[in-house]
Amino acid sequence: MTPRQSSGRRLVPAYLATGGRAQPSRNTLDRLTLLHGVGMPITSEVRPEEHRILELLEPGALSLAEVAAHLHLPVSVVKVLVADLVDAGRLHARVPIPEAEQYDRHILERVLDGLRSLKC
């Protein structure tokens, strides 16, 4: 977790968590990307912020936005950290299903009704 003063302000600017980098190594990450750990043991080479991300994901998957909220870090900073962890093979990131590929519930209900009527 990042150090904070009693007033809630950061002692260290958020961009230092990324080593000053502003762009992630991959542009496929967005706020709704689902993240889950691969179960690798956390070693000393993992930075504290990355360590916290891996700890947050031990119980199960979270979206990138949820991880950012838990860490009290901007989403842009968490994108850089997550990209590093994915590149290192410590995390899996699943892109959210685009709206065009999602199923329409009403169409599925009509198909189900049609199948039921054929059964009779």
What is the per-residue pLDDT for 50?
A: 87
Q: Considering the domain delimited by 14-97, tell me its CATH architecture.
A: Orthogonal Bundle (1.10)
pLDDT at res. 23: 60
Find where tokens 């997550």 sit. 82
- Give the gyration radius of the chain's Cα atoms: 20
Sequence spans of domains, the chain: 14-97
What's residue 1's pLDDT?
47
Profile the chain (120 residues) by mean pLDDT over runs of 10 residues: 50 61 69 88 82 91 93 87 89 80 82 84
Q: 72 with 14: CB under 8 angstroms? A: no
CA-based torsion, 12, 15, 17, 19: positive or negative: negative
> d(Cα 21, Cα 79) in Å, to the nearest integer?
11
Contact 114, 103 (CB under 8 A): no
Closest by CA to 31, choosing from 99, 89, 97, 96, is 96
Q: Could you tell me the pTM of the whole model?
A: 0.65
CA distances from 13 to 2, 17, 78, 109 (A): 9, 8, 13, 51
Closest CA relative to residue 87, chosen from 22, 40, 23, 26: 26
- Confidence at residue 6, expressed as pLDDT on a 0 to 100 scale: 47
